[in-house]
């Protein structure tokens, strides 16, 4: 099970009631994790974050530079902009900030979710998230 489809289902179920904030935490011992994070953000710049996210999950571990560029081409991205972004670390500051935040929180697992401060580690089925979200919405009167 991948977290992406569950997150999309949550967003569809609770329109206007929740806010999704995504942080990058590329695992330092996994090949291509950093450049894959760069690729997802470079795709975000062109309005294709989720599309790239889905490709990265389904085609992992094939996340080398040439594969990422091929995925960007498949998505119809401007390859010159995309390639410049991943080659020049166009989102390095954002990724570094996210990594520093995760380390300051002693996070070691991805994905990790926070729902009003309640930590949920790992991929979970939609119903697990729904229970927590419903409890939190009830407490806040939404």
Q: Give yes or no for a contact between 133 and 18, defined as CB atoms under 8 angstroms apart.
A: yes
Q: What percent of the chain has pLDDT over 70?
A: 97
Q: List, for residues 29-75, the tens digit of each pLDDT value.
A: 678 999 999 999 999 999 999 999 999 989 988 999 999 999 999 99
Check residue 31 and give its pLDDT: 80
Four-residue CA torsion sign, 108, 32, 85, 59: negative
Task: Give the CA distances from residue 20 to residues 2, 10, 123, in Å, rounded to whole numbers and listed in that order.
Answer: 17, 10, 16
> What is the C-alpha to C-alpha distance for residues 55 and 14, in angstroms, rounded to an integer?
25
Task: Give the CA distances from residue 21 to residues 24, 29, 109, 112, 125, in Å, rounded to whole numbers and listed in that order.
Answer: 10, 24, 17, 12, 19
pLDDT mean over 109-135: 93
């Amino acid at each position: 099970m991948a977290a992406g489809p569950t997150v999309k289902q949550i967003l569809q179920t609770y329109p206007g009631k929740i806010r999704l904030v995504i942080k990058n935490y590329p695992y330092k011992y996994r090949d291509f994790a950093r450049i894959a994070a760069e690729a997802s953000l470079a795709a975000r710049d062109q309005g294709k974050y989720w599309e790239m996210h889905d490709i990265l999950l389904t085609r992992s571990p094939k996340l080398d530079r040439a594969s990422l560029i091929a995925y960007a081409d498949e998505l119809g991205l401007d390859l010159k902009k995309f390639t410049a972004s991943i080659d020049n670390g166009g989102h390095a500051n954002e990724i570094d900030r996210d990594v520093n935040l995760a380390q300051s929180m002693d996070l070691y697992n991805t994905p990790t979710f926070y729902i009003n401060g309640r930590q949920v580690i790992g991929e979970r089925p939609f119903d697990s998230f729904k229970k927590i979200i419903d409890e939190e919405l009830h407490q806040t009167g939404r």
